Amino acid sequence: MTAAVCRAATIALNGLEGAAVQVEAAVSQQLPGMAIIGLPDAALAEAKLRVRLATAQADLPLTNRFLTVNLAPAALPKQGSGFDLAIALASLAASGQLPGSDDVHERLAATAHIGELGLDGGLRRPDGLLGAVVAAQRLGFTRVMVPASCAAEAALVSGMTVVAPETLAQAVDWYRGVPMQTHPAASAAARLPGAPGDARTQDPGDALDMVDVVGQPEAVEAMIVAAAGRHHLSLIGPPGAGKTLLATRLPSILPDLSDAASIEASSIASLGSGAALTRLVRRPPFESPHHTASAAAIIGGGTGNVIRPGAVTRACHGVLFLDEAAEFAPKVLDALRQPLESGVIEIHRARMRATLPARVQLILAANPCPCGKLGSAETSLECECPPMQRRRYLARISGPLADRIDLRLTVRRVSSLLLQDAQPARPNSAELRVRVVEARARAAHRLTGTPWAVNADVPGRWLRGPELRLPRTETVVLDRALSRGGITLRGYDRALKVAWTIADLDGMERPGRHEVARALMLRNGVAA
């Protein structure tokens, strides 16, 4: 005869998507043992050993009969060690270590339990805890139980009550009625930009400032346009021209993340971070993978049922910088074409599928040729590359990918004479950020009532529609370029987006002929 089934709720995290899982435990009249079923991975299958030893160390022995633990729904693959706490509590309830009242059973089923067990009965932070708590909230949970070491991280999710025991014994005592301090959602002060205590908030990149850029006023202005509209940008120029300098300073002029973007960026940061977050990520992230990175490293992937986010997801709501872009494998670069359009990455496996966010601002930097001397103003520098090698080099960046780049900037080396001359005062990143924030505010006001907030996200059909259509007299330069095959329809739409961004920076209601022409010039490759 089998005893009653006891249940405890937890969250199965697949990428950033979560599903509610009911951990069912029941004792049966068989030889002593324990089995976990419901498509567990190797780490989860080992939970039975952690649970048995941890409960024994906490003086909460399990039944000496056969214990069956089912993870429902059984067809959903489960991975990771975050199920340990729910498995232990359901098993203890089935073993008679928890009160059998209806109130206890309701709390077990209505609380999302997320935590890994140590052999001494202590609770540890599992990977992706913040993402699991966010998923729990979306699924309708209002209370989570997590290890005490990550109570502050879980409390970052508004509207969620956090129960944070240090050990399994304390978790059992809470269900037995022993009072335990709960942690309400973090206050608004905890979400202010620049709040201390989070390594991602106190990023070393905060010390980088656009004032470091010398003798490149056109390039700086192009970076402002890119930041204001969240446009993709390519930088072509010889070594030492300042391409990396410009790209690494772009995040310093970007606005702080919105609440929704901050939660998503923080959830991504919690995956694989190891340490608990104490503050939301408020500054746009910056990722710069090496040119030898594989497609899986950039896009995301993994083995079996384990899917890890790639650089394009870790840079979500921020900047993905590919330095020496022409040195990346063409298949790696072409893998970015779809996420640049959709803003998401879909990773398919035989038994599962994961959707990861990938709303990034792409910055490419490359030399004009393998030797880097092509087009140099210095007479002493002559390109040594054969013509065929030159063509093949930049052709590694395919036409479809290049067509998705809004701004193309040719960067020149700064002359020594210019460095010696007296330079006017250059604006710093804080001053430039004010311009960017004001431009984005104008765009957001214009786009009120739409699903978009920045110009880069607005579809071309809407820009060409009755709402925002520009007169033919203003778009004549674009119309001519389209008719002659100089740009594609995608390029036409992207040039319109840039024209609207330029108008927002200049405080104009609508772009005129000058703004449209400048947008086309920036798209075709302006020299700085």
**Which CATH number fits the domain that encloses residue 380?**
3.40.50.300
Final residue in a domain of this structure, among 429, 461, 482: 429
Give which of 254, 394, 398 is closest to 336, Cα–Cα.
Answer: 398
247, 104: one domain? no
What's the mean pLDDT in 47-69? Answer: 92
- Whether residue 195 is contained in a domain is answered as no
Give which of 148, 146, 117 is closest to 53, Cα–Cα.
Answer: 117
pLDDT bin (cut points 50, 70, 90) of residue 331 is very high
Q: Residue 454's Cα: distance from chain center in Å?
A: 17
User: How many domains would you assign to the chain?
Assistant: 3
- Whether residue 417 is contained in a domain is answered as yes
**Residue 94 in contact with residue 231, Cβ under 8 Å?**
no
- Whether residue 196 is contained in a domain is answered as no
- Whether residue 197 is contained in a domain is answered as no
307, 374: one domain? yes
- Whether residue 442 is contained in a domain is answered as no
pLDDT tens digits, one per residue of 214-248: 878 889 999 999 999 999 999 998 888 889 999 99
**Residue 79 in contact with residue 305, Cβ under 8 Å?**
yes
217, 174: one domain? no
Question: In Å, what is the CA distance from 403 to each residue of 183, 282, 400?
Answer: 50, 31, 5
- Tell me if the bond preceding 239 is cis, omega within 30° of 0: no
Asked if residue 383 has pLDDT above 50, the reply is yes
Burial of 484 (0-12, 13-18, 19+ CB in 10 A): exposed
39, 161: one domain? yes
- Whether residue 441 is contained in a domain is answered as no
456, 368: one domain? no
166, 210: one domain? no
Q: What is the 3-state secondary structure (H, E, C) of 190-247?
A: HHCCCCCCCCCCCCHHHHCCHHHCCCCHHHHHHHHHHHHHCCCEEEECCCCCCHHHHH
389, 519: one domain? no
420, 491: one domain? no
pLDDT tens digits, one per residue of 18-43: 999 999 999 998 888 899 999 888 87
**Residue 129 in contact with residue 164, Cβ under 8 Å?**
no
Domain holding 126: CATH number?
3.30.230.10
Query: 325-329, 345-349, 440-444: lowest mean pLDDT where?
Result: 345-349
- Whether residue 199 is contained in a domain is answered as no
**Residue 298 in contact with residue 214, Cβ under 8 Å?**
no
**Domain extent for 234:** 204-429
337, 279: one domain? yes
pTM given for the model: 0.87
Final residue in a domain of this structure, among 429, 461, 479: 429
Give the mean pLDDT of the chain. 87
- Whether residue 273 is contained in a domain is answered as yes
